[in-house]
Amino acid sequence: MVNSENSNQLKPPKSRAARCLRRTVACAGWLLPAVALGCQAISNAKATGGVSVDASAGCPAGVAAVLGDSSYSSSQVALLSLSGNVLSESFISTASTRTDGLAFALSGDVVLPTNAPASGRVVILDRYGTNVVTWIDTTTAQVQAQLQVGTGFESNPQDYFEVANGRALVSRWGVNDDPGVQPFDAGSDVLVVGDQGDGMATVGIESRVAIPLEGNLPPRPTSFTSIGNSIAVVLQRYSEDFATVGDAQVVRLDLSSLQIVQTLSLSGVSNCGRLMPVPGTSNYAIACTGPLNFNGSSTDLSHSALVLLELDRQGDLTEQSRWLAADIAQEPLQHDVDFANEHIALVKTQTGLQGTTNNRLLAVNLDDNSITELAQARQSADGTGKGAMFGTVVCSPNCSSLCLMADSDQAVVRRFDFSAGSPVELAPVTITPNVPLYPRQLAYFGGAQ
């Protein structure tokens, strides 16, 4: 059933230019400004249904892929196996008009949680202009519930993490300039949402976790990472006019009390992505892009780096070492990182639209400091760069030797096999061979990550 509470508060999408402005700063590393990429409405494929989920395997059931058109007017979610084989080409899409419970159709600006939901459901965050969380049964592909998390303003939800007892956390990047009109409307915070104990018949907002400002910059919380009995939230700290970005911070919340137990400032780096566990260790890594202009080009390369963190004896995060982007790639990094194994970090370069360089995927060997280029996007017809065409990279080294990457340049999912030590690229996977939709994000679903 759909939660209809506050359903009259769903606002129409803002102008495409306004949507792109927020994508550029909140989602650096995906397709940057869509305004320059043309406008075309895409008809999505016929719904292909759900897939069975084995929650006992100790591994993710598969990989969900978000695809979209170049104008950000439509979205489609496909389900793949861990090896990249297509299980359901159109699990749900903007064109899903007959899906039970879909009161709010998907927009062209949706993302998946960075952590596989423990419930086994597929969860979709509809961001700027819509501000809706959608829960979908993975087996039946039926929408179980939807919840608006805009509470009267453009909240721009970024990530979702299930804790326990039907409760979950939602990070909201947007800031409300005029709070106090309705409950939970301050913004730039973490919401606690729940199913009210009735098995998703009704979902609602239970409370919010306020994150203090530091230096008059909104915290701008983004991604979640589980660390023991706490959850780490990365803060991007952009000013309301996007002209200033502060040093990144990582806040840890105790999962029982939802109180802040640590705030770690990463001096000299900004615009960072998810805190990623290093396989086989108790360490973590975070990639930081630094400040960007509206073409997605760096305005200060020195603020981009790959930062390695460790847990001290008290369980607090501390910085262990730092790799400057200038040394890794001679240009900024996109703000996400994943690991093929405990030795190899996979990062991508952050390249501006119509710039002089092309988007690259790089393997960073943390043992011998070597850098290997695994892929490079193509140039535009005029010889300039296309911008950040490479989307999310996902690896599950305990469950598969393959790492998958969303490639919007060639409209495929690329596959890299690390079983032999040196990576080997396998044949790519085309999800929608007859429809020009471009893979943007990959995320695990159904079970452990």
pLDDT tens-digit profile of 374-393? 999 999 999 999 999 999 99
**pLDDT recorded at residue 36:** 33
- What's the pLDDT score for residue 201? 75
Q: What is the pLDDT of residues 271-325, one digit of tens each?
A: 999 999 999 999 999 999 999 998 899 999 999 999 999 999 999 999 999 999 9
Q: Are 66 and 111 in contact (CB under 8 A)?
A: yes
**Between the CA of residue 210 and those of 25, 154, 170, what are the distances in Å?**
22, 17, 12
Return d(Cα 47, Cα 86) in angstroms, integer: 13
List strand residue ranges (DSSP E) for 357-437, in order.
Answer: 360-365, 371-376, 390-395, 402-407, 412-417, 424-429
Give the count of beta carbons closer than 10 Å to the beta carbon of residue 104: 17
Predicted confidence at residue 54, as pLDDT, reads 76
What's the CA gap between 250 and 228, in Å, rounded?
A: 15
For residues 233 and 202, the model is more confident at 233
What whole-number distance in Å separates Cα of residue 317 and Cα of residue 406?
A: 30
Q: Are 394 and 66 in contact (CB under 8 A)?
A: no
Distance CA 212, CA 260 (A): 10
pLDDT of residue 229: 95
The residue among 14, 107, 132, 77 whose CA lies nearest residue 437 is 77
Beta bridge partners of 405: 393, 414
Among 10-14, 137-141, 421-425, the range scoring the smallest mean pLDDT is 10-14
**344-348/360-365 β-pairing:** antiparallel
Q: How much is the average pLDDT of 3-27?
A: 38
Architecture of domain 47-445: 7 Propeller (2.130)
Buried b (16+ CB within 10 A) or exposed e, 251-287: bbbebeebebebebebebbbbbbbbbbbbeeebbbbb
Q: Which of 49, 168, 159 is nearest to 110 (CA)?
A: 159
The confidence band for 55, taking pLDDT boundaries of 50, 70 and 90, is: low
Predicted confidence band at 101 (pLDDT cuts at 50, 70, 90)?
A: low
Could you give the dihedral angle defined by the CA atoms of residues 362, 31, 142 and 224, in that order, rounded to the nearest 10 degrees? Answer: 60
DSSP category for residue 298: B
Q: What is the pTM of this model?
A: 0.90
Query: Mean pLDDT over residues 110-134, rounded?
Result: 94
Q: Which amino acid makes up residue 378? A: R
* pLDDT given at position 4: 33
Q: What is the mean pLDDT of the chain?
A: 88
49, containing H or E segment: none
Whether residue 33 has pLDDT greater than 50: no
The CA distance from 110 to 125, in Å, is 6
- CA 267 and chain centroid, separation: 23
pLDDT at res. 434: 84
The structural domains of the chain, with segments of one domain joined by +, span 47-445
Instruction: Report residue 82 as tokens.
Output: 């861990």
Look at the block and give the residue holding tokens 């994508």: 23
Q: Using pLDDT thresholds of 50, 70 and 90, give the confidence band for residue 197.
A: low
pLDDT value, residue 92: 93
In 185-254, the DSSP E strands lie at 187-194, 204-209, 221-227, 230-235, 248-254
Mean pLDDT of 345-349: 98
For the chain, give the percent of residues with pLDDT over 70.
87
- Is 325 in contact with 272 (CB distance < 8 Å)? no
